[in-house]
Homo-oligomer: A and B are copies of this chain.
Amino acid sequence: MPLPKDLKRTVVIENVAPTVAGGRYPIKRVVGDVVEVTADVFKEGHEVLVAFVRYRRADETAWREAEMRPLDNDRWTGRFVPDANARWVFTVEALPDPFQSWLVDLRKRQAAGQDLASELLEGAALVRAAAGRAAGADAAALRVIAARLAEAPSDAGLFHDPVLGDLMRWGLDRAEATWCEYLFEVVVDRERARFAAWYEFFPRSARGDGRHATFRDAEAMLERAAAMGFDTVYLPPIHPIGRAHRKGRNNALTARPGDPGSPWAIGAAEGGHTAVHPELGTLADFDRFVARAGTLGLEVALDFAIQCSPDHPWVREHPEWFFHRPNGTIKYAENPPKKYQDVYPLNFVGDDPGPLWEEMKRVVEFWIGHGVRAFRVDNPHTKPVRFWEWLIREVQAKHPDAIFLAEAFTRPAMMRALAKAGFTQSYTYFTWRNGQNELIDYFSEITRPPVSEYFRGNLWPNTPDILHATLVQGGPPAFRARLVLAATLSSLYGIYSGYELCENVPREPGSEEYLDSEKYEIKRRDWSAPGNLTEWITRVNAVRRAHPALQRHDNLVFPVCDDPNVLWYGKWTPARDDCVFVAVNLDPFGRHATMADVPLWELGLAHDAAYEMHDELSGTTWQWRGPRGYVELDPHSRPAQIFHLRR
């Protein structure tokens, strides 16, 4: 075996953090975040080392750098702030500092009264070499010092001049520095990738009177969503809906005349994934809808569901993209023994899947061309993880502001893999985590490293597919409590419209399907119906916007609280200048009072500190002192409290 290259680059740089799977996948941050980089940095012998975080945008070539400092046991730390929405890379560079190393030894030799003549000649040579490398004023200054050293070759004191120290540090020869063997990626998203409130609605129901609405009608829904404080509206598929095997109301095998069908049966004679359902309007209407959303501070998220109705143009144009029976016909979706005759899945492992991959990219870029920057991806776990890794990287290379939300409720390893592969946000098991212990366990897992480095949970108390028993049984108190949990356990959450009306009738007892599901029909709704939660939701969204502590997904802490019916948690900013504590009554049927801990030490408060706990929901302020406080919750009058801790 030949000798390796660069034999003189001998610094060991290891255990770099934060990374995902040793650097195989990027970590995720948002613009303006501080990226704290740590690494083991050491080399043979006893020289003084210097180390730098080297970082740059992946699409640029010029490196920037930040100096690292040693912590202990050869662990070093440095930080940088990515200032643009882009993919970034970083690594660590380190090298010995010959002048500093020499100076440290010189001091020891001086202290021991040794003869320094030869050492001082070495020091002078280092200064001359630095003068030769330097430019401008530094070079001039070094030449002056070098001349002075030549005049007084035995004056060791000249070397302790701090100006010389600075000049030598700035002029360090980095040519033979060691770089870490790996480049680590950081996907730096825009702020809304981490802090957002989504509101899902079917635009076709926007009239509320049972007649098919248009995008124009749906502008009223934008105003409602904005007024409630949401910032993202997410629309189920807006494309032409197939007619063949169209499902009827309540998922009936055959549609009756006038049944609108499921929007997830995408494609008809009027077009496929890049067309708009004619009854909603035209592409121009959609553009207008997006523009109107923009003026309200909302962005529009589309559903990206890679599947086709039998009427989709691709079925005719690209039959090779589908699965075929021995008789040559195309297979519909099945999960035996269940059959979904209105939907054809696409075949990602056919003989030549490349054109299909490229077409999927074209679809996403088409909608980006129409002002869409957020995609809720339907069932990503039924397509190859590698496909998503490629697609998202490709799209974000040109459109770094694109956000992808993975709708995967499948197995934990797959959910993590999709997030590692690039999904900006992920659905979670939140919907099925209702008890104190299971909430603490699950959120401890997904809000801490390593998972929090790549996984951002977007919490949904309901979706058109999931009406959980907690809401069915618990009614309005449960709706209020689960909303607060979703909105404060993560910085990302969403609700599906109807939640504000506490809609909770299942198709049959024990079912998680809604009765008269909106997936198969147009809903009538009275948004001002008595008992609606509009005001509660509006207040919670306002609290989220007022508190930076609630705008991160990775700062959740569960202090002790005595009552298993109460979830008690805190979030604060890194500077601890915004501290929020939340108490939620998990029992929709009973009042609960409990003592709850406040980790004063972690907040920089004295053990016996007095402070105010201001409930942002009720407006009430309590005076607390010391590390425990009393919390009382009532499912009807006070199902939750969001305390702002005021020093």
Contact = CB atoms under 8 A, between A and B. Distances in A.
A292 interface: no
Contacts of A387: 7, 10
A382 B42 contact: no
Given A21-B14, A105-B336, A42 B414 contact: yes
Interface string A394-409: 1001000000000000
Give the one of A24, A45, A181 with max B CB within 10 A: A45
Given A73-B411, A337-B112, A45 B1 contact: no
Interface in A325-341: 325-327, 334-337
Contacts of A165: none
A527 interface: no
A43 interface: yes
A585 B370 CA distance: 78
Nearest to A181: B24
A414 B325 contact: no
Nearest to A104: B336
A157 B337 CA distance: 18
A357 B414 contact: no
B326 A125 contact: yes
A10 B385 contact: yes
A302 to B, nearest CB: 22
A414 B74 contact: yes
A353 interface: yes
Contact of A354 (B1, B3, B348): B3
A386 interface: yes
A170 B350 CA distance: 24
A111 interface: yes
A417 B14 contact: yes
Contacts of A114: 336-337
Contacts of A22: 21-24
Contact of A118 (B4, B45, B327): B327
Interface in A141-170: none
A602 interface: no
A40 B7 contact: no
Contacts of A9: 386
A174 interface: no
A381 interface: yes
B383 A44 contact: yes
How many copies of the chain does the oligomer comprise? 2
Nearest to A389: B4
A44 B12 contact: no
A528 B335 CA distance: 82
Interface in A47-94: 73-75
A390 B6 CA distance: 13
Instruction: For chain A, give the interface size range.
Output: 35 or more
Nearest to A420: B14
A378 to B, nearest CB: 13
Interface string A1-38: 10110011110101100000111100000000000000
A412 interface: yes
A349 B122 contact: no
A109 interface: yes
A118 B339 CA distance: 15
Given A385-B44, A386-B7, A1 B358 contact: no
A335 B268 CA distance: 82
A210 interface: no
A339 to B, nearest CB: 8
Nearest to A40: B413
A46 interface: yes
Nearest to A4: B390
A121 interface: yes
A326 B326 CA distance: 85
A108 interface: yes
B122 A353 contact: no
A243 to B, nearest CB: 24
A384 interface: yes
Interface string A447-460: 00000000000000
Nearest to A325: B118
B411 A74 contact: yes
Nearest to A178: B386
Contacts of A75: 413
A3 B353 CA distance: 10
Contacts of A335: 46
A470 B118 CA distance: 43
10 contacts: A1-B393, A7-B353, A10-B385, A10-B387, A12-B414, A109-B336, A118-B326, A121-B326, A122-B325, A125-B326
Given A4-B386, A10-B386, 19 more contacts: A1-B397, A3-B354, A3-B357, A7-B354, A10-B384, A10-B385, A10-B387, A14-B417, A21-B22, A22-B22, A40-B417, A42-B411, A42-B417, A44-B414, A74-B414, A108-B337, A109-B336, A109-B337, A114-B336
